Amino acid sequence: MRHSLVKLKKTLQDRCAELEHARSRAEQYEAEVKKLRCRIEELKSEISNVEDEVCASVVFNEPV
């Protein structure tokens, strides 16, 4: 009986360690996703600005 209890406690400790490790990885992944989403928004903004500049230069250079 006592051996079973010790074995179960060890299993619980191992599972808790695995859970903590998985939680830590999940938090890291969430932070990385947040950074990437911000970068995507920055790139979208840059693309929009470049498109606006190209359109403006095309309109400016069209013959009248």
pLDDT tens-place string over residues 6-60:
999 999 999 999 999 999 999 999 999 999 999 999 999 999 999 999 988 887 7
Dist. CA 46–CA 39, nearest whole Å? 10
Range of the domain at 16: 1-64
Dist. CA 11–CA 28, nearest whole Å? 26
pLDDT of residue 58: 82
- Give the count of domains, the chain: 1
Give the pTM: 0.65
